[in-house]
Amino acid sequence: MRIWIATSEDVPGLVLESGSFDALVERVHFAIPELPEENDKVTSPIRLVYRSERHDQVAVYG
C-alpha cells in the first residue's frame, strides 16, 4: 500500500495523507485556507514545492 503524506514547516498544522499524489495535492489546496486562525502569519499566495521520497528494504543473504 502506498501512502502520500504532506507536511510543512511553513504552514503550521498541515499534516495530510492520501492514497494518490493527485488527491493529496487537491487536499493540500483545499486545506491550507481552512487551517486554524493560529496560522495568521501565513500569507497568500503560498508557494508549494512537492518532493517525493521512497523507502525500501532489501534482504541480504549470506
* pLDDT score of 41: 65
Find, among 11, 18, 14, the residue nearest to 45 by Cα: 11
pLDDT of 59 strictly over 80: yes
Grid coordinates in use for 45? 499566495
Burial readout 13-27 (b: 16 or more C-beta within 10 A, e: otherwise): ebebebeeeeebbeb
Q: 12-34: per-residue pLDDT in tens?
A: 889 999 999 999 999 999 998 88
Helix, strand, or coil (residue 40)? coil
Sequence length of the chain is 62
